[in-house]
Structure 1
Amino acid sequence: RRSKHGNSACMQEPNIKSGCGGLRDFQNLFWMAFFKYRTRTLRELQEREFVTEAERKQLEAAYDFLLRVRTELHYNTNRPQDVLGKNLQPAVASNLGYSERSPSQRIEKFMRDLYVHMRNVFLITRTLEQRMALVPNAPGRLSRLRQLLPGGRGRKLPEPVDGFLFVDGEIRAASNRIFSDSPRRLMRVFLHAQQRQLTLHPDLAQLIRSQLSLVDREFLNDEHVRETFLTILERRGEVAHILRTMHEVNFLGKYFPEFGKLTCLVQHEFYHQYAADEHTLVCLEQLDKIWEAKEPPFNAYTPIFLGLERPGLLYLALLLHDVGKAAKHEQGKHAEVGAALAMRAAKRLQLEANAADTVQFLVENHLLLASTSQRRDLDDVTVIRNFARQAGTPERLNLLALLTFADSQGTSDKLWSGFKDALLWQLHSRAMTLLTGGTEFRRASENARQELRDEVRGLAPKRISDEELDAHFAQLPARYFEIHMPGEIHDDLELTHRFMHRLVLEGQRTLAPVAAWIDDPDRGYNLVKICTWDRAGLFGKIAGTLSAAGLNILGAQIFTRADGIALDTFFVNDCRTGNLATREQREKFTGLLESVLTGDEMDLRSLIALQTSARSSYSAYLGERISTQIHFDNDASDDRTLIEIETEDRLGLLFVISQTFAELSLDISAARIVTERGAALDSFYVRELGGGKINSPARLLAVEKKLRTAIGQLEAAA
């Protein structure tokens, strides 16, 4: 049941009844206690020392709060409703008395209270389950540790180690004074648990919670405590469980106040599945999974994880990567704020300068690899060089790759895809080549180009003449050969040959395209390659035709030869299922595209409207939409302007944007298309038809205005 509903008490859209820490957990506790001990109330459980007075009050407050939330859900929906969706949260918060003027602050305060109550129910009931399983069916609570052990009084106790007893897979305290006698044991107990793969006995966990006042300034600056914690972080594959245990007894937030402020913190980004602290812990679990992974995509990252000299720095950076969200910061600036907080924590741990700089770098740039790979033109050498310059060293590049993958996996179990994984590895490979002094990006030299030509000649059949091959190499830009392998160049050459053969020998209509499909099931998409004469608005027409055929565009590579032949590659899948394109979709696209490009009257907007798209996975607050944001960057490329557009995804959006560029006389040379839970995050590299960037401020303003108008009209039509 818990796994079905996210296995966490801090879900962005929690199930109040059946989720972790929900009403059913509370009620299950009463049933277990009644059948085993005939207790009927929390006060009776307190009298039998199963719960403390503080725990009883926390459970009572949580039960009352959850009942009121569920009642409001039923009133608002007029039916049994247990999932507190984002669209219902504002109304429920207001009706429960949360009166902050800002809707986001009102929701944040309400949801944080809800998370605290559900977390208390989850942790306390789980502890009670353990306690009741340990205690035999007899009146009263057995007070002596010897009587808690299987075998009763006749069983010999093990010898204490550092004040602890290791019994039946658990750690128990030999005395209630172990922490007051030596506060350093508050950290060492977790190292013992990690080294011996033990869990904390419920009484020991409660003892730790009651002794947290010992985590004072002296404790935080204690070098022995510090060394124990850093040792815990160095044990690859065994860190996440221990840090989660620390958090569940409220120790982790005391030792790292920067992380403690994330506890039950609402994340407003639409793509997040968990509260901030739970997200971080899940990220750490994803990193642990890489250690001995046998299945993709995790096993692809195992070699670089094994090669890390100091994995503890990566674990520390991942623990702190979102701490900036709990501090005041401008929108989109939490990484910079978090980097300063991470450096403060690193200095408190007395890390050497290089290690502290590495942790700060990873926190500040934890979004860099994902944003660059998914929103930049990876075929542009300038993009690769700028990214490699930011990464700095091969070691930091590997750390970024691991952190990015773990962070993405921990954000939501539905956002990562084979396509995004391929983009990450593509950027990693090309940047690593630069950082290690490789020659991949110098293939444009005459010698390298000649070697590449000879390889393609060996692959190409005799029907493709040397003149045709030489023309292909002479009429494409250097960037094309820098990023294509010989086999890919051969495929494009074959496609161009087919196009010219139809044009010259078969007398086909001159504007008719030639298309080729390549299936890539391992990455979850198809490649469709189109060869035709270049013309104004070509990208938009192809994009519109793909949408009309029910296909989702994941990315695109666009090249035009000097003789006017366009070679465009689109990465696509079925927009409804996310699977590969069906045969019917391929045939529909091919037929429509030929009609559109040869001048037949085709109303693409109407054809797109006929497609019934799957319901967007973005769920907005009541009255809230994803606002359209447009950003221009003239530094990302030497000769093109990068235009980044973030808006709510809609059927035909890419068609409308590309058509707008055509109307503005802007040529699209490359595009990165990303969709996250119903939000479109698209990047376009454009140039003026006469060549060059968009430099005039007035021109930039006009482009933005026309784009906003076109997107707004599409939204109104929807």
Structure 2
Amino acid sequence: MPFQDHPLFRRLRKHAQRRLVFDPGVPRNKQLPAYKRFLELENEMLKRYHRKGDSGLKVAQARAVMVDVVIENLFLAALDMYMTQHGKLPCKLAILATGGYGRGELNPHSDIDIMLLYPDRISNRKRFEQFQELLTEEILYPLWDLGWKIGHASRNTKEVIDEARVEIQSKNAILESRMICGSEPLFADMYRRFKAYLNKESSDAYIKQRLIDEKERHGKFANTVYLQEPDIKNGVGGLRDYQNILWMANLKHGYRSFRDIEKAKMLRRDERIAMDQAYDFLLRTRTEVHMNNRRPTDKLNLEQQPIVAEGLLYPQEDIFARVEAFMKDYYSAARTIYHTSEYLKKRLSLNADRLGGKITFREALRARQHLPMKKVDGFLLYDKTLSPESKTVFKDDPTRLIRVFRYQQQFGASFDADLLHLMSRSIPLIDSEVIMSPAAAKSFLSILRAPGEVYQTLVTMHELGILGRYLPEFGKLTCMVQHEYYHRYTADMHVLRTIKHLDDVFLKASDVDARYERELRKNDDPLLLYLILLLHDIGKSEGIKGHDVAGVKIAKPILDRFGINKEQQEQILFIIRNHLEMARIWQRFDIEDPHTTASFAETVGDPDKLRFLYVHTYCDARGTAPTLWNSYKDSMHRNLYMATIEQFQDEAVIQRKRKEQIAMLNEQLLSRSIEGVSKDEIEAHFTLLPERYFINTSADEIELHLRMVHQLLTQIQTAESVGTLAPIIDWRDDRDLNMTVVNVVTWDRAGLFYKLAGALTLAGVNIVSTKAISRSDHISIDTFYLMNPEGGVVTNSGAEATFKSHLEESLVQGKRLSPQIDDLEKKAIASAKKARDMLPAPFPPSVDVYHELSLKRTIIEVQASDRIALLYRLARLIHYKGFDISFARIATERGVAMDTFYIENGDSKSSASTDNLLELREGLEKIVKEDL
């Protein structure tokens, strides 16, 4: 056993000796209940140790001991049975633990991997196969019957080494293998031959592959420790990073533990202790997560974090405070593992570009002396690597702790292990004098003025703890969990990710980025946006709600000490105060309505601020979560920007341009040969629709609508009445928007919107957004933007036919869809409850009904947990309360619905009373609070 002897492990073994004793000849099926009872009692004991705050490593090791004693007992019973029935064993045998079980670390849902090791030569093949069959029946079958997920292999030593040559995972498994029971000489011989093979083979190929795997793995988790829902095992700074550095250090230098690395003077004692404590914390966290789930999972999602924090004995009464305390400890542990691993890669020459023959650290230092070298302000630059000229470089001038990052950025350099080590120990030198220093401010601002190169520099500063020390207001955001459903990152990492996307804008990383870059370059100082983004969420240190207002108060002293002039301060503080406003406008309001853009332009004040806000909103959204931004949102954002920038022109110019645009569209469509559509129909279309329809509708869309209107009007010749006219439907996938767009042209009637929503609900699609407009001859043109529940265009081949069928039933036959929708809703609720491992974090629903004077509209805003038929029920109630929906904006993000409706009184001769609106709000609130 590689474990240190511990009273808990001895206790487990004593329990096994007492509880797993059977009379000779007792069949396996009669023994199984005793094994199950043993595991039940021991698991309960381990749970008590865990719950009282015992070491995560000790509990994980104890669980491995528990599995060991079960396998040992089954093994001895199997050997006894074979020898009773057949006499002497046909060969030696050893049962090995591999993988995490080989390390002696098991969490409740960890895989258990074992290997049955045999000699290379078997003299009697028939007896050997008989032996194998008995081992399967008497060892593997009981293990499966106990409910364990057992991975097993049968190998001889030659096969072990052959597999290790071609499969890196096999090599890892044997590196960490240990013998559970059986022939020690057989295991020792295998391990000796395996080590001999490793010594002959260069470790470089293995290490390169491990680094490639690590890079790919980190990429899946955005290359950051600071995800709001981190993966404990495979995430950046997770358990796998700790294990990976040991695998590489073992193969290259023979170090089997961090104590070995410490003894080799490659790691200080305090660093080794911090590493072991971090690993212990993650093991303990993983145990708690496994205990709270029926299935194996390593994702620490938002719903589980309060439960895990409570299970780990965090004492805070407030649930948010408890989660924040726990997650800060988690990020601290993960950061320790990640940083120490990265440092050791440099120190042990494990980087891919440093691999070669085994050299000592002293040899590496001597080799450095022969490279071209440049002295820069107390640092040595060689081979694109910065190192300290002396150990007092930061003590002599603490502002170098900021300047060194400008040099790193300027020369495209990396820091060597010595400089990294010295920087981490010199952080206390950043005191109030450095924070207020004009020289430090000049260096820091110069970092923010290198277009396309800012993100990586700031990330390095942050990971080393220097950014938060120099900018303490930003430091308060470190590891801050954002209790907002759409955020993927912690508050600090979100800010840095927004800066990454501004880098992409300046680098024109995509056609979309290039478009934003062109607009931003129109400002006198486009690089100012880096500073704006860095400070835009600084107010979250005082709470999420109202952080835009708090941010202005916190940012002002920072701008003063940075020496930012008054004009630029005014721009920066305006964007911080209003950084959520532009997205709010196009998410909530009808941006084709000139009142909307005129009101927004009045708020913004000038084109420079609008351009900053335009690009800021794009970077902010993309830095929130990878899937938050899409081409549809981008088009909405762009349309609002273009319509608002136009508002800064003279009113007469605006009107002239609009008339010219409409005239040009009219000419375009008249010049087209639209089959069956006369010029009179085209002219009528332009006469019967309001001006705003033509502002953001393309010629192709107008042509489609003309064809559909023509088709509807053609039906009148044979229809009994307009009420019996079948709706005209166009269903098509828009690959540019990555959505399905459905246009419906029909006779306008009361309750049309909710009936359309009901038919789409029964078709099983998600409504992302919608717009509707009516001609003055009562023909309604409704457009719906749809997605699969998982995102992207609708892939259900039957959805279109289902929608058309139900819509005709509702509009033409007058059939009520509510019974079918009720059934669908019940099934969805039952299915969700059955699949749910734990209750989701509740999203507080809200309903607001108000008059917006600037828009001259009555508006309903709804936020609620999304569910089947929510939109249908909201729209139906609005209709039943006597209101018509003139505009709807539907949005769903990560299970939360955010819907806006413009409503008008169904009786056009009267206006909505306050009592009517209050009654409507109460009814809507009742709908959104159902099932909470």
Q: Tell me the TM-score normalized by structure 1.
A: 0.91
* Map of 1:656 onto structure 2: 873
* Map of 2:707 onto structure 1: 494
Aligned-pair CA distance for 1:619: 9.7
Q: How do 1:128-527 residues align onto structure 2 when only pairs under 5 Å count?
A: 128-133=344-349, 142=362, 147-149=363-365, 151=367, 155=370, 158-327=373-542, 329=543, 332-437=545-650, 442=655, 453-459=666-672, 461=674, 463-465=676-678, 467-504=680-717, 510-511=723-724, 512-527=726-741
1:44-95: per-residue Cα shift (whole Å, max 9, x none)? Answer: 4334432234323321321221121112222222554322223322222112
* Map of 2:307 onto structure 1: 91
Task: Give the one of 761, 781, 788 matched to 1:574.
Answer: 788
* Matched position secondary structure for 1:504: coil
* Map of 1:530 onto structure 2: 744
Task: Give the one of 739, 747, 763 matched to 1:549.
Answer: 763
Q: Say if 1:13 and 1:633 are closer, same or farther in 2 by CA, change over 3 A.
A: same
AA of the residue aligned to 1:529? N
CA distance in 2, matches of 1:448, 1:521: 27
CA distance in 1, matches of 2:306, 2:695: 52
CA distance in 1, matches of 2:484, 2:501: 20
CA distance in 1, matches of 2:319, 2:646: 48
Aligned-pair CA distance for 1:172: 0.6
* Map of 2:150 onto structure 1: none
Q: Say if 1:444 and 1:286 are closer, same or farther in 2 by CA, change over 3 A.
A: closer
Q: Say if 1:701 and 1:182 are closer, same or farther in 2 by CA, change over 3 A.
A: same
CA contact (8 A) 2:438 2:561 kept: no
AA of the residue aligned to 1:32? M
Q: Does 1:51 align with 2:281?
A: no
CA distance in 2, matches of 1:508, 1:578: 39
Q: Say if 1:444 and 1:551 are closer, same or farther in 2 by CA, change over 3 A.
A: farther
CA contact (8 A) 2:452 2:503 kept: yes
* Map of 1:642 onto structure 2: 859
Larger RCO (alpha carbons 8 Å, 6+ apart):
1
> Which stretches in structure 2 are left out of the alignment for 5+ residues?
1-216
AA of the residue aligned to 2:898? L
* Matched position secondary structure for 1:668: strand
Q: Say if 1:453 and 1:23 are closer, same or farther in 2 by CA, change over 3 A.
A: closer
CA contact (8 A) 1:639 1:693 kept: no
1:656-686: per-residue Cα shift (whole Å, max 9, x none)? Answer: 1110110111111111111111111111111
Task: Give the one of 197, 208, 229 matched to 1:13.
Answer: 229
CA distance in 2, matches of 1:589, 1:228: 61
CA distance in 1, matches of 2:514, 2:796: 30
CA distance in 1, matches of 2:763, 2:319: 40
Q: What is the CA RMSD across the aligned residues, in angstroms?
A: 3.0
AA of the residue aligned to 2:808? E
AA of the residue aligned to 2:578? N
CA distance in 2, matches of 1:472, 1:42: 77
* Map of 2:289 onto structure 1: 73
CA distance in 1, matches of 2:566, 2:837: 44
Q: Does 1:115 align with 2:328?
A: no
AA of the residue aligned to 1:86? L
CA distance in 1, matches of 2:657, 2:849: 29
Aligned-pair CA distance for 1:651: 1.5
AA of the residue aligned to 1:539? F
* Map of 1:705 onto structure 2: 922
CA distance in 1, matches of 2:909, 2:452: 50
CA contact (8 A) 1:442 1:482 kept: no
CA distance in 1, matches of 2:326, 2:781: 53
CA contact (8 A) 1:641 1:685 kept: yes
AA of the residue aligned to 2:753? F
CA contact (8 A) 1:73 1:92 kept: yes
Q: Say if 1:295 and 1:43 are closer, same or farther in 2 by CA, change over 3 A.
A: same
Aligned-pair CA distance for 1:696: 4.0
CA distance in 2, matches of 1:270, 1:355: 33
Q: Say if 1:698 and 1:444 are closer, same or farther in 2 by CA, change over 3 A.
A: farther
CA distance in 2, matches of 1:35, 1:201: 23
AA of the residue aligned to 1:348? R
CA distance in 1, matches of 2:505, 2:780: 42
Q: Does 1:103 align with 2:319?
A: yes
CA distance in 1, matches of 2:251, 2:661: 79
Q: Say if 1:441 and 1:708 are closer, same or farther in 2 by CA, change over 3 A.
A: farther
AA of the residue aligned to 2:219? S
* Map of 1:632 onto structure 2: 849
CA distance in 1, matches of 2:234, 2:663: 66
CA contact (8 A) 1:572 1:581 kept: no
Aligned-pair CA distance for 1:322: 1.5
* Matched position secondary structure for 2:375: coil
* Map of 1:667 onto structure 2: 884
Q: In the comparison of the two structures, how many residue pairs are matched?
A: 706
1:269-307: per-residue Cα shift (whole Å, max 9, x none)? Answer: 011111111222222112212223353543432323444
CA distance in 2, matches of 1:424, 1:665: 33
AA of the residue aligned to 2:727? P
* Matched position secondary structure for 1:646: strand
User: In terms of mean alpha carbon deviation, does 316-325 or 442-451 score higher?
Assistant: 442-451
AA of the residue aligned to 1:284? I
Q: Say if 1:317 and 1:13 are closer, same or farther in 2 by CA, change over 3 A.
A: same
User: In terms of mean alpha carbon deviation, does 192-201 or 458-467 score higher?
Assistant: 458-467
* Matched position secondary structure for 1:559: strand
CA distance in 2, matches of 1:59, 1:447: 69
CA contact (8 A) 2:745 2:781 kept: yes
CA distance in 2, matches of 1:565, 1:444: 28
CA distance in 2, matches of 1:683, 1:316: 33
CA distance in 1, matches of 2:653, 2:903: 25
CA distance in 2, matches of 1:622, 1:422: 36
1:83-129: per-residue Cα shift (whole Å, max 9, x none)? Answer: 22233222221121112222222112111111111111111111111
CA distance in 1, matches of 2:709, 2:358: 82
CA distance in 1, matches of 2:652, 2:667: 18
Aligned-pair CA distance for 1:520: 1.9
Q: Say if 1:197 and 1:438 are closer, same or farther in 2 by CA, change over 3 A.
A: farther
Q: Say if 1:469 and 1:589 are closer, same or farther in 2 by CA, change over 3 A.
A: same
Q: Say if 1:240 and 1:636 are closer, same or farther in 2 by CA, change over 3 A.
A: farther
CA contact (8 A) 2:863 2:896 kept: yes
CA distance in 2, matches of 1:76, 1:442: 63
Q: Tell me the TM-score normalized by structure 2.
A: 0.71
Aligned-pair CA distance for 1:548: 1.3
Q: Does 1:559 align with 2:773?
A: yes
